[in-house]
């Protein structure tokens, strides 16, 4: 769908108010973890996944001298967050970028290092609630799924052009879908007759391809839609380069908080933070030299989850996995 056919921002804002959409996840814990790094005058926090600015607004309210850099690849999110954060305009910089463009974004603002990073990964309620973006299998819409609707191939393009083996592989890797081979085969068979352009078409192909014995094991489209979304937005590849870029931009004492919503993301975050918090001394080295000491310390033991009370109040928080770290030594 063309952008001018999509909902206007004002209608979306009304929708936001009506649905009370996007309550920031684990907000108090994020504030608690980042607070020691961002309380001093002149501190800079990067919200790498600005979304509708829920976390950003709370940080700007609570830290009156904080400067916030907000990044998002979704231009609609930036417009909405821009409206919401207008009262703090003199302390806010918004940048349209994929968050692996962190280094360039900070360079563009003349910032060599920053004091905090917040990543609240995944799709926003805005993206899920706007049917025409094609993220939700429960609503019929064109199969778009691009978080940045201004560029790149859509989910329909992936379904139309990828060979069967590639479809099978993304369903397996990004959706952990046991029926990946069967679903990939069904898509190839179908697309030869008719292009697959709408979510309802895809749901029907997947439902038909699901053996009756498994038809009650959750919605057949759930994992395939997740896999397509990850592929279309290259979510894991981007995360693999974004976290190291964020870590290397943190000043000593600076902190990073990352909230993941599925195990593939959390695995990447875990590996990168644990590696940063490990000594680089060669095995068997008798003493740990200064340059081998860890650059980071972990602030969380494993992952932190939302409380039962928060899950009830805000179901989006149910799958969240939070990890955090602090820079303790400058880059060697």
Ligand X SMILES: C[S@@+](CC[C@H](N)C(=O)[O-])C[C@H]1O[C@@H](n2cnc3c(N)ncnc32)[C@H](O)[C@@H]1O
Residues at the site binding ligand X, with contacts judged by CB under 6 A: 22, 24, 49, 51-55, 71-74, 77, 98-99, 120, 122, 124, 147, 238
* Residues paired with 325 in a beta bridge: 256, 298
Residue 281 Cβ vs ligand X, minimum distance, rounded to whole Å: 34
Residue listed under structure tokens 């590696």 = 275
Are 190 and 196 within 8 A, CB to CB?
yes
Residue 136 Cβ vs ligand X, minimum distance, rounded to whole Å: 15
Are 9 and 76 within 8 A, CB to CB?
yes
Pairing of strands 321-327, 250-260: antiparallel
Residue 275 Cβ vs ligand X, minimum distance, rounded to whole Å: 21
* Residues paired with 256 in a beta bridge: 117, 325
Residue 139 Cβ vs ligand X, minimum distance, rounded to whole Å: 18
Name the residue nearer to ligand X (CB basis): 99 or 225.
Answer: 99
Q: Distance between the two ends of the chain, CA-based, in angstroms?
A: 49
| Backbone conformation region of residue 41, classed left if phi is above 0, alpha if psi is from -120 to 50, else beta | beta
The count of other CB atoms within 10 Å of the CB of residue 275 is: 14
Are 239 and 268 within 8 A, CB to CB?
yes
Instruction: Give the CA distances from residue 153 to residues 74, 166, 253, in Å, rounded to whole numbers and listed in that order.
Output: 15, 15, 40
Q: Which residues contact 58 (CB under 8 A, 6 or more apart)?
A: 24, 27, 31
Residue 181 Cβ vs ligand X, minimum distance, rounded to whole Å: 29
Name the residue nearer to ligand X (CB basis): 51 or 134.
Answer: 51
Are 58 and 32 within 8 A, CB to CB?
no
Name the residue nearer to ligand X (CB basis): 99 or 183.
Answer: 99
Residue 326 Cβ vs ligand X, minimum distance, rounded to whole Å: 21
Name the residue nearer to ligand X (CB basis): 177 or 235.
Answer: 235
Secondary structure class of 254 (helix, strand, coil): strand
Name the residue nearer to ligand X (CB basis): 54 or 254.
Answer: 54
Name the residue nearer to ligand X (CB basis): 82 or 253.
Answer: 82
Residue 83 Cβ vs ligand X, minimum distance, rounded to whole Å: 13
Phi, psi of 206 (to 5 degrees): -70, -40
Name the residue nearer to ligand X (CB basis): 127 or 199.
Answer: 127
Name the residue nearer to ligand X (CB basis): 55 or 168.
Answer: 55
| Position with the least CB separation from ligand X | 51
Are 29 and 318 within 8 A, CB to CB?
no
Tally the C-alpha atoms within 13 A of residue 123's C-alpha that lie toward its C-beta.
22
Residue 238 Cβ vs ligand X, minimum distance, rounded to whole Å: 4
């Amino acid at each position: 769908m063309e952008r001018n056919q999509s909902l206007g921002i004002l209608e979306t804002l009304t929708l936001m108010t009506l649905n009370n959409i996007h309550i920031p996840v684990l907000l108090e814990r994020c504030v608690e973890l980042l607070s020691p790094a961002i309380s001093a005058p002149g501190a800079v926090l990067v919200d790498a996944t600005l979304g509708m600015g829920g976390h950003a607004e709370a940080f700007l309210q609570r830290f009156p001298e904080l400067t916030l850099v907000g990044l998002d690849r979704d231009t609609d999110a930036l417009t909405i967050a821009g409206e919401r954060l207008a009262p703090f305009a003199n302390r806010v910089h918004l940048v349209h970028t994929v968050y692996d463009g962190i280094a360039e974004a900070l360079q563009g603002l003349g910032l060599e290092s920053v004091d905090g990073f917040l990543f609240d990964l995944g799709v926003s309620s805005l993206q899920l609630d706007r049917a025409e973006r094609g993220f939700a299998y429960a609503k019929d819409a064109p199969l778009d799924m691009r978080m940045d609707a201004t560029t790149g191939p859509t989910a329909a393009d992936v379904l139309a052009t990828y060979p069967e083996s590639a479809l099978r592989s993304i369903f397996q890797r990004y959706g952990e879908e046991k029926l990946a081979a069967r679903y990939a085969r069904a898509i190839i068979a179908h697309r030869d007759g008719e292009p697959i352009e709408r979510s309802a078409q895809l749901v029907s192909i997947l439902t038909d391809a699901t053996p009756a014995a498994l038809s009650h094991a959750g919605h057949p489209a759930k994992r395939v839609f997740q896999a397509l979304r990850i592929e279309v937005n290259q979510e894991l590849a981007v995360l693999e380069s974004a976290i190291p870029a964020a870590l290397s931009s943190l000043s000593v004492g600076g902190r990073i908080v990352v909230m993941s919503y599925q195990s593939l993301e959390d695995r990447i975050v875990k590996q990168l933070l644990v590696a940063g918090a490990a000594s680089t001394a060669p095995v068997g080295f008798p003493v740990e030299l200064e340059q081998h000491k860890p650059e980071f310390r972990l602030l969380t033991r494993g992952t932190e989850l939302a409380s039962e009370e928060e899950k009830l109040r805000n179901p989006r928080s149910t799958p969240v996995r939070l990890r955090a770290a602090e820079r303790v030594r400058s880059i060697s």
